[in-house]
Amino acid sequence: MHIRDGVRLPKGVAGDRHKFTTLVELCQARAAAEPELRAYSFYADGRTEWDALTLADLDRRARALAVLLADHAQPGTRALLCFEPGLDFHVAFLGCLYAGLIAVPVAPLDGTRTSLKVGRIESIVASCEPELLLSTGLTFAKCLAVVEESPALAGLVRLAVDETDPVHADRWKPPSVGINTPAYLQYSSGSTGEPKGVTLTHGNVLHNLALIHDNLYRASDEQGLRRPTSVSWLPSHYNMGLIGGVLDPLYAGRSALLFPAGVFVRSPVSWLRLISQVGRADSCAPNFALDLCVRRIAEVQLAGLDLSGWEMALIGGEPVRAQTLDRFCEVFAPSGFRRGALVPGYGLAESTVMVTSSVVGEGPLTLRCDPETLSRGRARPVDPPGGRRLVSCGPVPPSITLVVADQVTSQECAEGQVGEIFVQGRSVGTGYWNRPDEVFHADLPGRRGPFLRTGDTGFRWDGELFVTGRAKEVIIIAGANHHPHDLEASAETAHPAVLGCCVLAVDDGERERVVVLAEVLAAADEDEVAMALRRTVHSGHGVRVDDIAFVEPGTLPRSSSGKLLRAGCRDAYTAGSFRSASTR
């Protein structure tokens, strides 16, 4: 054990981070320090342990796989990782790094050729040109026809990770990789267009792991306690799932309890039940997960839940809504959940995952702003109960340079002025793979670049970052900017029958029409719901809804992490895919 800044940590954990230049060194150090630690446990049904990996298991299996990979590909080769939920992904990911290959995590195939996942994976193959396809023997058997019928997938060398003999581990030789060697490609969720693979080096990821560890410092660190067990249902190919469920446990010296996203979506209480079962826990999720818990967990299911040990609930990956946080705290406070555990944050794949976060234990900081002034690009605080409540994503950490700049002039904005967010730091990836893009090489007057142009908008206020939306998704009505997620937040409260919404601006050639796609209960009175939607959106934002399409629950295109795929929603609407539904 050693002490760093008052924190007692096992040898080879975060406190010694400066000696690591690669993720391979990190994993090897952790396996040497605590070989028998059960680092990862997988609960296939969300209730009972199905599989587990000690650090020694992970290291040995990764070395064995690396030997096999080296027989098929040269260092720097891309390998597609296509896994159903489970721990074989962990072995495959570390095995690629141990072989000097570039891992490319993608969503698992489901055995159907018509699946949207197949088309997306084929697009990723076209982008990064991998030579290998890694999965399990069971998945290959189930999806053999899909793979062989796809020109993009059929030519890849297929390797079943779970069939690799661990005896090969003794033949492993460390790869020639360094801090600037690409470790993996993180493809975007696809919510704003074609998938683009962010190239992340070993150094990028190690820097972000250090940033996460420092940002999430808490009182228990002062007591010399190990970081709590991480409980996660986020898919491993998703950036929050990959860092939170695979790499952060290695870096922070904690264990991880993992279960499938599908289990959470079907039964949200499974997430809280596992956290209750673990006792002292950390867990992160997008905003929608809290909403789902509030809507879908019945009062009778609260019996027996003890969330008093939930130490840190990191909320990010999509806009964080004050109303969502309030409702979650109200419903689960009787189960011991503390508002101080909520930690809103801001990040993006282009900067590995995290940029900023609030302080653990302090609870979310909100600011009420005049909505009309905000739509004109300026934050003007107002007294309650009026105004639009924005949630702070925390202060900017010392290792990151963050500038809010005017989208036209690129001049730095004054405090409270809304602009585009630019980020600079060692967590920022080197660019999109095989795709020239100015996003990673932006210049700002009076600043030494380059900067990452995030495409997100926000403002600084009293040392805190407030994110207002995506620049590319802004809906402009009468010269005022409206972010879709704000309109959706209002629309979803319009009527009890509304389960979810997507608000789009659709250009009809003459003007942008505001369209609401609403998932509603089958027994709902559509005329009544339509009237409520129009009234709520207009009264809250001064925006007239031009069209409303009612769709069945679960119909709106979403990513594996639950994020709305706006491009997919727009394409489906303009293609007439929702014409069979009632439209008002």
Secondary structure tally for the chain: helices H, strands E: 19, 28
Q: What is the largest CA-CA distance in the chain?
A: 69
- DSSP reduced 3-state for 373: helix
Q: Do the two domains 204-435+446-471 and 475-574 of this chain adopt the same fold?
A: no
Task: State whether CATH 3.40.50.920 applies to domain 475-574.
Answer: no
Query: What does the block give as tokens for 264?
Result: 């959470």
What's the CA gap between 440 and 150, in Å, rounded?
Answer: 33
Task: State whether CATH 3.40.50.12780 applies to domain 204-435+446-471.
Answer: yes
Domain range list for the chain: 35-177, 204-435+446-471, 475-574
Single pTM value for the model: 0.86
What's the CA gap between 300 and 320, in Å, rounded?
Answer: 28
Nearest CA-CA partner of 200 in 173, 234, 239? 239
Side chain identity at residue 120, one-letter code: R
Bridge partner residues of 106 (DSSP):
82
The 512-520 sheet, strands edge to edge: 498-507, 512-520, 547-551
Each residue's pLDDT, cut to its tens digit, for the chain (584 residues) gives 444 433 344 555 554 445 789 999 999 999 999 999 999 999 999 999 999 999 999 999 999 999 999 999 999 999 999 999 999 999 999 999 999 999 999 999 887 776 657 888 999 999 999 999 999 999 999 999 999 999 999 999 999 999 999 999 999 999 999 999 999 999 975 444 577 999 999 999 999 999 999 999 998 888 888 999 999 999 999 999 999 999 999 999 999 999 999 999 999 999 999 999 999 999 999 998 999 999 999 999 999 999 999 999 999 988 889 999 999 999 999 999 999 999 999 999 999 999 999 999 999 999 999 988 998 999 999 999 989 999 999 999 999 999 999 988 999 999 999 999 999 999 999 999 998 888 999 999 999 989 999 999 999 999 999 999 877 777 877 667 788 888 998 899 999 999 989 999 887 655 678 999 999 998 889 999 999 999 999 988 888 999 999 988 888 888 777 778 887 888 888 888 774 444 44
What's the CA gap between 68 and 5, in Å, rounded?
Answer: 42
Q: What is the CATH number of domain 35-177?
A: 3.40.50.980
Phi–psi pair at 95, nearest 5 degrees: -60, -40
What's the CA gap between 549 and 78, in Å, rounded?
Answer: 42
CA gyration radius, the chain: 23
Question: Own/partner pairs for 491-494, CB < 8 Å, 24+ apart?
Answer: 491/516, 491/518, 491/533, 491/536, 491/537, 493/323, 493/536, 494/529, 494/532, 494/533, 494/535, 494/536, 494/537
* Burial class, 155, CB count within 10 angstroms (exposed 0-12 / middle 13-18 / buried 19+): exposed
| Gap between the terminal Cα atoms of the chain | 65
Angle in degrees, CA 132, 153, 147, rounded to 5: 115
Which stretches of 434-536 are assigned E, i.e. beta strand? Answer: 452-461, 464-470, 475-477, 480-482, 498-507, 512-520
What residues contact 353, with CB distance under 8 A and at least 6 apart? 208, 212, 239, 240, 242, 243, 347
Angle in degrees, CA 486, 323, 359, rounded to 5: 105
Phi–psi pair at 223, nearest 5 degrees: -85, 0
Cα separations (Å) of 486 from 238, 251, 375, 535, 557?
A: 24, 36, 11, 15, 19
What's the CA gap between 155 and 32, in Å, rounded?
Answer: 38
